[in-house]
Amino acid sequence: MILETFPVGPLQCNCTILGDEVSGEAIVVDPGDEVARIARRLTELSLKLKQIIVTHAHIDHVGGALRLKQLTGAPILLNENDLPLLQMMDDQAGWIGIPTPETALPDAGLADGQLVGLERYPAEVLHTPGHTQGSVCLHFAPLKLLIAGDTLFAGSIGRTDLPGGHSGQIIESIESRLLVLPDETKVLTGHGPATTIGAERKSNPFLR
């Protein structure tokens, strides 16, 4: 298995490449920016991109998705509840003062319970609204791995003051969908360091 996470763009969104060296296939999660670098890495690893998965439609997570699709032909997957945010890309670019990236409607949704990812490394989609209405986490149960987008951070949780955010809902999502996962589950967060479900259950000050 190939698993690489690296921050991209001015807001340092964690982008993840998960690849299977046997099948030669990969997925990319949250290609927010620096698409040339992501594409170059896929080429270096001899991986063919199968899916572009976007945890939510904030500009720093979705901004490079269309460009990556144009370079690789891979479909973009995004939960339909974030389509209103996708259509606010001009506003989002204005919030952080960067040019508006070109975006397009996703090729497929990311519904709760849906299986995505690679044949050997499938993930279940967990719909975890609160940071945005279409926020999802990806649970790779056999790998004991969660990609959490901006829902859960090491020692923190996603902000809920932007359009579509809801503070009670994000706590409910985290408690009912994420804290029920095994303690040893590694969590790749949308920004900053990785953590584990056990560490967050024990010490995250937003979850007590």
| 48/191 with CB nearer Zn ion | 191
Cα Rg of the chain (Å, integer): 16
Contact status, residue 171 vs residue 179, Cβ threshold 8 Å: no
Contact status, residue 146 vs residue 178, Cβ threshold 8 Å: yes
| 50/131 with CB nearer Zn ion | 131
Tell me the β-bridge partners of 29.
Answer: 16, 53
How far is Cα 157 from Cα 118, in angstroms, rounded to an integer? Answer: 28
Whole-number minimum distance, CB 96 to Zn ion, in Å? 11
How far is Cα 85 from Cα 89, in angstroms, rounded to an integer? Answer: 7
Cα maximum dimension of the chain: 45
Whole-number minimum distance, CB 4 to Zn ion, in Å? 21
Helix, strand, coil abundance in the chain, percent, nearest 5: 30, 25, 45
Whole-number minimum distance, CB 93 to Zn ion, in Å? 14
How far is Cα 129 from Cα 97, in angstroms, rounded to an integer? Answer: 26
Whole-number minimum distance, CB 150 to Zn ion, in Å? 4
Q: Determine the Cα angle at 100 with ends 95 and 106, to 5°.
A: 105
| 34/150 with CB nearer Zn ion | 150
Tell me the β-bridge partners of 27.
Answer: 18, 51
Q: List residues near Zn ion by CB under 5 A.
A: 58, 150
| 42/146 with CB nearer Zn ion | 146
| 33/150 with CB nearer Zn ion | 150
Whole-number minimum distance, CB 120 to Zn ion, in Å? 29
Whole-number minimum distance, CB 60 to Zn ion, in Å? 7
| 30/200 with CB nearer Zn ion | 30
